[in-house]
Amino acid sequence: MSSVNERPTDLPVDRSHRFELLAQLPERAAHELADHALTIVSGHVDIIVPPTVGMLMARAIDGAKGDLFNLAEILVTEARVTVNGHDGWAMVMGRRPDHALAVALIDACAEASPAVRTMVDRTIRHAASDRSASDARSWQDLAPTRVDFEISN
C-alpha cells in the first residue's frame, strides 16, 4: 500500500524501464554501482554471453504517410550474466564491453535482491533526473537559434 506522501519517483522501476535507464548511465557510475551491488549480493557470477558487439537497425515512421523506414544502423554491445542463478542482461550503444558487462551485473543483482533493486532504482532515477535537467538547459540554450519553416501547398 502506498502512502499519501509517496511520489511517483518513489515507486519501483519496472525492468524494461530499468534496462533503458541503466544503458544511459555513465560508464564510471555503472562500474561503481555494479561493484557495490556485487558486494551486497555476493555470490557466484557466470558470464553467459560475454560482451558482444553488433548492429541494430533504427527504424522510424514517416510523418506524412506513416510509412515505416530504416533510419540508420546503430553499433551496440550486449552481455548476459547470472548472479546466484538470477539473469542479468544489457545492451548499450557503442563498442563498450566493460559498460555492457557492468550493466548486466547490475541487472542480475537487482533481480537477486530487493535491497539492491531499491538502491539501483534510486540511483538510476537520480541520474535520469540530472540528465533531463541537463537536456532542458541544452534545449533552452539552442532555442534562440530555432528556425520555423512554413510550408504551403
Give per-residue pLDDT as tens, 8-45: 455 567 788 888 889 888 999 999 999 999 999 988 99
Which residue in this structure is represented by grid cell 552481455? 79
**For residue 80, is it within any domain?**
yes
CA terminus-to-terminus distance, the chain: 56
**For residue 5, is it within any domain?**
no
Number of domains in the chain: 1
Give per-residue pLDDT as tens, 95-145: 999 999 999 999 999 999 999 999 999 888 876 666 666 656 666 777 788
- pTM for the full model? 0.75
Whether the predicted pLDDT of 7 surpasses 60: no
| C-alpha span between 124 and 111 (Å, rounded) | 15
Domain that holds residue 76: 13-133
Residue 3 — pLDDT band, cuts 50, 70, 90? very low
